Copies of this chain bind each other. A is one copy, B any other.
Amino acid sequence: MNERIPLKKKILSENDRLAKEARDEFSHHSVVALNLVSSPGAGKTSLLERTLQALGNDIRIGLIAGDVQTENDATRLIKAGGGEMVWPVVTGGACHLDARMIMRVLKDVDLDRLDLLFIENVGNLVCPSSFDLGELMKVVLISTTEGDDKPLKYPAMFRRSGLMVVNKTDLLGTSDFSMQRVVGNARSINPDLEVIETSCRTGVGLDKWEDWLRGLLASGQ
């Protein structure tokens, strides 16, 4: 199966071409796009629900919600205030979003009506790391229930992200998860990685996430 590697390169190079088109679109319309990645169940949708509730009146937020199957996340985000600015993408078995899927959705999106676009990827710490979606930055979520060794075991995702959100801090102490260790492990792979600790359940730390988003938008990125 020697053709696998050249084919993978070809797929990724085609993806990069389409990601550049998406990036140009975002830039042209001054939209900040973030690609949200994590394991299944780390809290991507919960974080986005909280973000809509906190910032939805000040910032024009759009959301592309990727899933292997079901539109459950999109439904949750619509209910949380995303309204008509939520676009589901069901990959039908594929383990990641790719730039072609994003370009297809963008046909339905009036980017002039948005400041910030979240792309919620499929829950998977491996495959989505390889696919640029035209985003400004990947934001990786990890929950305290997953174990603090995950950055070492899935390094590509942490290397390619600009921010790590450590979620479910309300469950610290129920396992041997150490905040110091997870940050140390992540920064051993990516020394520039920013870190924010949150609990989407209690709300602790969400102010820092919201400030970070406001700062990103204000910096004119």
A binding-site residues for B, Cβ under 8 Å: 1, 3-4, 7, 10-11, 14, 39-41, 67-70, 72, 93, 95, 122-127, 143, 145-147, 149-150, 152-156, 168, 170-171, 174-175, 201
Contacts and interface: CB of A to CB of B under 8 A. Distances in A.
Contact of A126 (B11, B127, B154, B174): B127
Copies of this chain assembled into the complex: 2
Contacts of A145: 41, 143, 145, 168, 171
Contact of A153 (B1, B67, B147): B67
A26 B69 CA distance: 34
Contacts of A70: 149, 152-153
28 contacts: A1-B14, A39-B41, A39-B146, A40-B146, A40-B147, A40-B150, A41-B143, A67-B153, A68-B155, A69-B152, A69-B154, A70-B149, A70-B152, A70-B153, A72-B152, A72-B153, A93-B156, A123-B125, A123-B154, A124-B126, A124-B127, A126-B127, A127-B127, A143-B145, A145-B168, A170-B174, A171-B174, A174-B201
Contacts of A39: 39-41, 123, 146
Nearest to A100: B1
A154 B14 contact: no
A219 B146 CA distance: 35
A17 to B, nearest CB: 12
